[in-house]
Chain A
Amino acid sequence: EVQLVESGGGLVQPGRSLRLSCAASGFTFDDYAMHWVRQAPGKGLEWVSGISWNSGSIGYADSVKGRFTISRDNAKNSLYLQMNSLRAEDTALYYCAKDPNYYGSGSYAYFDYWGQGTLVTVSS
């Protein structure tokens, strides 16, 4: 059974940093691209970032480009999101999501499995 478990969320002041983690199990992690998708309270879904199976291809939404960094450690079956210079508008539930494409580049992907999310609140 595929499981994605996010952690690292919390309350942080504007301008500060936070690192999210996603622990994956139930599939061969290093065969698939992975993504972060967020959902502000009571709002819709927004893709944040994606990374290919071998970290060779990475993409970001314009809203986070230059502030967030996605990475993965295939030896640890883990995905990360380093979030710097956080803003109030970054407040959201952050989901880790699996790309269904085998050896995918992270492009042309929908999301076949999602974690339960970790909440990030940016407020002074």
Chain B
Amino acid sequence: AIRMTQSPSSFSASTGDRVTITCRASQGISSYLAWYQQKPGKAPKLLIYAASTLQSGVPSRFSGSGSGTDFTLTISCLQSEDFATYYCQQYYSPYTFGQGTKLEIK
């Protein structure tokens, strides 16, 4: 099975900061990568698919990049509503998620 490793597992930041979360696949997955945001007690919400395509309705401060094995999610200017846990997911073969990155308020 393809293993997805996110880093960091957690970190603190302030509103207005630019933050980057990394996701690495144990083998090449082309651009078959999605990013989700999950808030406590809520279902995951799709942010990005195909590594860099923004889901409809998602603010443009979110962006994704990468292909092959290395991917990043960037939030350009953190807002209060962005503090959550973020997951990457590969959908190349078949589906596995990263362990999550918890973004907390500094």
User: Which residue of the partner chain B has the closest CB to A108?
Assistant: B91
A50 to B89, CA, bound (A): 15
In the complex, chain A residues whose CB is within 8 Å of the CB of B1: 62
In the complex, chain A residues whose CB is within 8 Å of the CB of B75: none
In the complex, chain B residues whose CB is within 8 Å of the CB of A47: 94-97
User: Counting CB contacts under 8 A, is A18 at the interface?
Assistant: no
User: Counting CB contacts under 8 A, is B8 at the interface?
Assistant: no
Is there an interface contact between B91 and A109, defined as CB atoms closer than 8 Å?
Answer: yes
User: Counting CB contacts under 8 A, is B99 at the interface?
Assistant: yes
> Nearest chain A CB to B56's CB is how many angstroms away?
9
User: Which residue of the partner chain B has the closest CB to A47?
Assistant: B95
Binds B, one of A20-28, A73-81, A82-90, A111-119: A111-119
User: Counting CB contacts under 8 A, is A59 at the interface?
Assistant: yes
A62 to B1, CA, bound (A): 10
Is there an interface contact between B92 and A44, defined as CB atoms closer than 8 Å?
Answer: no
List 28 A-B pairs, Cβ < 8 Å: A35-B95, A44-B87, A44-B97, A44-B100, A45-B89, A45-B97, A47-B94, A47-B96, A47-B97, A50-B94, A62-B1, A100-B49, A107-B94, A108-B92, A109-B91, A110-B46, A110-B49, A110-B89, A110-B91, A111-B34, A111-B46, A111-B89, A112-B46, A112-B55, A114-B43, A114-B45, A115-B43, A117-B43
